[in-house]
Amino acid sequence: MNLTSSFDGITFENPNPVTDSRGEFVTTAIVDRNTPITPNVIITATAVIIEETIRSSITARVECINCPDPIIIPTQAVQAAPRQLRTVTCPGTPISGRLTCEGLPIPNVEVSFEVTSASGKVIVTPNPTLTNNEGVYSATILAFPGAREIVTIVTTATIGGNTIRSEPESYEVTCPGCENLEITFDGPNQISCNGTISGRLTCDNEPVANIPITLSGSPILNIITPNPVTNENGEFSSVVTINFNTPSQEADYTAQATFNGVETTATGNVFVDCVRCTTPQLTLNVPEVQIGCDGGTITGRFTCNGEPISNTPVNLTLLSSGEVIVDPNPAITNADGIYSATLKPGLNVIETITIIASAMIGGEEVRSPARNVAVNCRCENPVVELDNPGPISCRTVITGRVLCQGIPVPGITVNLSSPILNFETPNPITEPDGSFSSVATVQPITPVEEGVPYTAEAVVFGIPVFNTNFVRVECLVCDGESLTLIPPEGTVGCDGAPISGRVLCGNTPAQKIAVFFTVDPSIAFISPNPAITDSNGNYSAVLSPNQGAVGTVEISAATSLGGNGISAGPFPVNLNCPVPPPECPCRFRLNTQGRAQPGANIRVVRFGHVQDYLGTLNITVVQCGSGIQGICNPAVDNFNFVFNASNGDNFQFTQGRRTEIFCEDNLTTAIVEGTINGRINNGPARTFDAKITAILNRMNNTITWTIFATDNTTTTFETISPFTAATDPTSFIIGCP
């Protein structure tokens, strides 16, 4: 390299440095003593590479003033009273000072500022700045919105090779933020001839005063004060009138405001009208029977001179000592002037409530006669639901809910206990949605134990309830954990292919560990899922493509060991199962009517623990044809069933795929066998083998069901006795030609 300078007062220790292996070079530039401050000095580096000349330049300010004891004095340090902080606000605060050497000013010196700001929202500009002929410098402290802190600033300068620093100066910065400027409307939901649009302007939830609001809207709205100004509470309002002979309809309006350079806009809508009505009438119909926890429907009609009034809000006022809600409120009349809403009492509300409906027409309020309704939402069957966390490795979060009549119960203390698990919060209190949670831990060096129980107990309105879940737990201490997954080699056909792998805790096989698989269930299934490792840490399962699956699918395996999650994959696997399903011997569509039906007796065995349940069951089976008038179609293949136990446990089985179907007894009995995804109490998905038998009684439109499902490892699910429930006219069993 060849180094040159536009200023003769600079010499280079090595004017021709050589680049190293990284293409870098370095040398020292020396400024002659007693050189005054000289700006705009150009230093150029030139090189010749493969007969091509290249160069690059920089501009610098140079000096070498003989000043052994320079002094920098910030003006604010002299002016400020002792221990008094200067205040910095959003518009900025000027700062200044003077640089001297032996009492004489030093001009044209770069002065820099080191700012210590916790938020990073405070700067000094310009930085650096230059001293003038009197050695005086000046700059401005700027604060960005949201800065509320005390900052320190140190002023620095370099003279004659000596760097000087001022004492740290502190400033109290107050610049309210405005990251969320928001306009909220107070309403109204209706303007009948005249009314008021009002709202509030806030910035980060704080009211903003003295800001003009620009109101605009549909031409049907006559906004009397289109530019109201917010008061000290951020509130604004304007009277709005509606022209006479305006029928009921919706109108939109908009408010816009700007604060600290931030703009916000909000849009609302309102029902408007202004018509003459000599004989308005508003009716209110309430249920004659007592309303339970499921609620009841209230209706009514709004007319003017016998004609329906549409698009008009009807406000519903409830007089009750307990918690009772009506939704929607207001209710909006339809084209026939009819409105409806649902009345829902809160838990343990047992009383007669009074309801009054009111609405506006032509600027006048119309009220219905008061109606009384008896409500009884007594808590009779509280439950504690426990979500299934799956296998617990050292620690996990236990969650659940307390419900009564299907309604969340807040403020209930839940007592958690277990012979193995420890709970960081053994007595959590339910939230407004009825949920509770606690971290459960397992003592270190705990080997794998299956079927460990934990119980949640509570007292709900004087009624004791409890629920118990069973889990697999461990907290091994491993010098590293590992999981392998060996996917099938080559292409997997319709018969499926084995997959395998191993789980190690350090170099020791991990026994009885549950390994979960991930695969697209619309393409293939893996069974068992999870697979359980043997005494050598090995596991195995079978990957089975769905009929018609051709192409690539990805499979993964995952588990937890010693409190650490480990996984393997995803690995691509080629599938080739193009053969269509076997010819359908019959086709059928069978389901419980409407929704889950009561009276199901179910037995569940988990880790050897047997529990019998009573609850509701919802079943749908559709095979080889979805309609009674259709044809046999092998591509139609789905079955699922959901069981909700009376104690709050739930079992969901979905995305069932058949391996075989049968129709017997003169097409009154249908049987499907296959594979289905199962989840217990919202836990991890498992693969179950399932068999469903359905006997259709066309005389009384019922179906008698028998179900058996197993995950081939820890869990079975079966009907203790056949479950008979109503069906609907869409159910059928038909033979295929």
pLDDT digits (tens, 9 = 90+) for 515-541: 999 999 888 999 999 999 999 999 999
Q: Which amino acid is at 350?
A: I
Correct CATH for 70-175 of 2.40.50.140, 2.60.40.10, 3.20.20.70, 2.40.30.20:
2.60.40.10
Among the residue ranges 39-43, 358-362, 527-531, the one predicted with the least confidence is 39-43
What pLDDT sits at residue 216? 94
Bigger pLDDT: 198 or 35? 198
**How far are the Cα atoms of 86, 100, 590, 670 from residue 664, in angstroms, in the given order?**
93, 108, 15, 6
What pLDDT sits at residue 582? 64
What pLDDT sits at residue 100? 87
Q: Model confidence over 646-659: pLDDT tens digits?
A: 988 999 999 898 88
Nearest to residue 214, comparing CAs of 199, 194, 193? 199
pLDDT band at 76 (very low <50, low <70, confident <90, very high): low
Bigger pLDDT: 581 or 538? 538
Assigned fold of 181-274: Immunoglobulin-like (2.60.40)
pLDDT band at 645 (very low <50, low <70, confident <90, very high): very high
> CA-to-CA distance for 394 and 559, rounded, in angstroms?
13
- Tell me the pLDDT of the chain averaged across its residues: 89
Correct CATH for 382-475 of 1.10.510.10, 1.10.3720.10, 1.10.620.20, 2.60.40.10:
2.60.40.10
pLDDT band at 542 (very low <50, low <70, confident <90, very high): very high
pLDDT band at 80 (very low <50, low <70, confident <90, very high): very low
Q: What's the DSSP call for residue 83?
A: T
Instruction: Check whether 321 has a pLDDT greater than 80.
Output: no
Q: Model confidence over 675-714: pLDDT tens digits?
A: 999 999 988 889 999 999 999 998 889 999 999 999 988 8
Instruction: Check whether 60 has a pLDDT greater than 90.
Output: no
Assigned fold of 280-376: Immunoglobulin-like (2.60.40)
What pLDDT sits at residue 77? 54
Residues 6 or more apart whose CB falls under 8 angstroms from that of 359 comprise 190, 282, 302, 309, 312, 313, 314, 315, 333, 365, 366
* Mean pLDDT of the region 190-196: 92
What pLDDT sits at residue 81? 46
Q: Is the fold of 70-175 the same as that of 181-274?
A: yes
> CA-to-CA distance for 21 and 24, rounded, in angstroms?
7
Instruction: Check whether 622 has a pLDDT greater than 90.
Output: yes
Beta bridge partners of 677: 654, 687
Beta bridge partners of 491: 574
**How far are the Cα atoms of 31, 79, 91, 177, 647 from residue 140, in angstroms, in the given order?**
32, 17, 10, 19, 69
What pLDDT sits at residue 252? 93
Share of the chain above pLDDT 70, in %: 98
- Helix/strand/coil for 75: helix
Instruction: Check whether 82 has a pLDDT greater than 60.
Output: no
Among the residue ranges 317-326, 408-417, 662-671, the one predicted with the least confidence is 317-326
Instruction: Check whether 581 has a pLDDT greater than 70.
Output: no
Q: What is the pTM of this model?
A: 0.60
> CA-to-CA distance for 355 and 286, rounded, in angstroms?
9
Instruction: Check whether 78 has a pLDDT greater than 60.
Output: no
Homologous superfamily assigned to 481-576: Immunoglobulins (2.60.40.10)
pLDDT band at 625 (very low <50, low <70, confident <90, very high): confident
What pLDDT sits at residue 219? 93
Q: Model confidence over 379-403: pLDDT tens digits?
A: 888 999 999 999 999 999 999 999 9
What pLDDT sits at residue 74? 83
Burial degree of 73 (CB within 10 A; 0-12, 13-18, 19+): middle
Bigger pLDDT: 529 or 76? 529
pLDDT band at 495 (very low <50, low <70, confident <90, very high): confident
The structural domains of the chain, with segments of one domain joined by +, span 2-64, 70-175, 181-274, 280-376, 382-475, 481-576, 586-735
